[in-house]
Amino acid sequence: MKLVLDTANIDKIKDYLTYLPVAGVTTNPSILKKEGSIDFVEHMKEIRSLIGKERSLHIQVIQEDYQGMLDDAHKILNLIDKDVYIKIPVSKDGLAAIKTLKAEGVNITATAIYSTIQAILAKELGADYLAPYVNRMENLNTDPYEVIYQVAQDCLGSDTEILAASFKNVSQVLKASQAGANYVTVGTDVIDSFLANANIAKATHDFAADWQMNFAKDQI
């Protein structure tokens, strides 16, 4: 399971880079809204400088129509860098935009995936990553793990990767991974719960206390 950060918060990204195996960063307009009145281009460039080119950066288009998505994609690529994965929602216009942008050689992350058929169509058009929305599917009484399993079977032998998204707890993250998602993009609320078990701190403290009670401080 490769971990991607579903946040645009600079302090959080800096912190996670110190102790997590970070494969990339994903954003969307709702995630960016949480950062307040930022300079979008400068903010994205700062994230890129933090994660480097060896990790993927995924930025979503804003407009909903075909031409608007193409315009947004070209602006993002020109203003930030050509290695960005352009996130395109899998609608009718989105599929058309994916088709055009892949013909131009653009990196694509197909997003807002709520069904197997959306994912398969985007994959057939050459999308590099497919982002099924796990928690949002569960809210709609769709089994996201069955969708991920079916998509993973369809992706066998292709270069398309599953980047599962929309998580509200660790259990969803692990189940998505077990169902076949090669990547998961996880928000700060769930990431911060990875190590939130108080027993970890207690065990660490107990070991340190036992050492200090039995050994001289200068032994190590």
* Residue 136 interacting with ligand G3P (CB under 6 A): yes
Secondary structure (DSSP) of 23-64:
EEEE--HHHHHTT-S--HHHHHHHHHHHH-TTSEEEEE----
Q: How far is the CB of 133 from ligand G3P (least distance, A)?
A: 6
Annotated catalytic residue 123: no
Tell me the C-alpha distance between 91 and 113, whole Å.
9
Cα-only R_g, the chain:
20
The residue (of 30 and 214) whose beta carbon lies closer to ligand G3P is 30
Task: Measure the CA–CA gap between 41 and 21, rounded to whole angstroms.
Answer: 26
Q: Which of 63, 100, 135, 142 binds ligand G3P (CB under 6 A)?
A: 135
Of 24 and 180, which has the nearer Cβ to ligand G3P? 24
CA distances from 139 to 7, 61, 142, 169, 183 (A): 22, 25, 7, 13, 21
Residue 34 backbone zone (phi > 0: left; psi -120 to 50: alpha; other: beta): alpha
State the residue for tokens 């769709």: 142
- CB nearer to ligand G3P: pick between 6 and 93: 6
**Per-residue binding letters, 54-93, with ligand G3P (x by CB under 6 A):** ----------------------------------------
The pattern of x and - marking residues 11 through 30 that bind ligand G3P according to CB under 6 A reads: ---------------x-x-x
Site string for ligand G3P, 100-129 (x = CB under 6 A): ------------------------------
Residue 35's φ and ψ, nearest 5 degrees, are -90, 0
Q: Decide if 177 contacts 148 (C-beta within 8 A).
A: no
Restricted to residues 29-58, the positions that interact with ligand G3P (CB under 6 A) are 30
Residues with a catalytic annotation lie at 87
Q: Which residues contact ligand G3P (rule: CB under 6 A)? A: 6, 26, 28, 30, 133, 135-136, 165-166, 185
